[in-house]
Amino acid sequence: MRSTNDAERGMAAPETLGLEIRVEIRKAAIKLLEEMPEGVGRLVIDLGRTRHVDSAGLGGVRGFILRTENGETLDFTIRGPVALDGDAFPPDHLREHMASAESIAVAYRTEGGLRVVVRLTDASAQDG
């Protein structure tokens, strides 16, 4: 998957994301980053085909890109713990939503232009 924008590159993640392929993915991502002008650009990793994530690999989630229903992409960063009250779930639960394509709701605050995750819930919990 390659973007038509010189300052943006994209790659599709495999069906299974696990520790055994992290070096391969990292090398592919670095190669794409090196194709972009220095200091600018964006790398988008499409998780649309991903159906399984090794939970050990998600323990260090630092962020994710959410694709909205209208196709817009939003970048989110995770800094420290997220709220786990009520219907909230931890970031490692995101793999189940990827596998089922179930929508999520993200509460966040803005810090230095970044969307920092405060709380994650099932979107259906927001409807009620």
70 CA to centre of own chain? 17
* Segment (H or E) for 109: strand 104-111
Say if residue 34 is in the same domain as residue 90: no
Say if residue 66 is in the same domain as residue 54: no
Residues 6+ away with beta carbon under 8 Å from 124:
102, 103
- 33 lies in which domain range? 1-58
Say if residue 44 is in the same domain as residue 88: no
Residues 6+ away with beta carbon under 8 Å from 96:
102
Q: How many domains does the chain have?
A: 2
pLDDT at 5: 62
The C-alpha atoms of residue 34 and residue 42 are separated, in whole angstroms, by: 11
Say if residue 67 is in the same domain as residue 128: yes
Segments of the chain scoring below 70 in pLDDT: 1-5, 19, 52-60, 126-128
Say if residue 99 is in the same domain as residue 74: yes
Report the predicted TM-score, pTM, of the whole model to 2 decimal places: 0.53
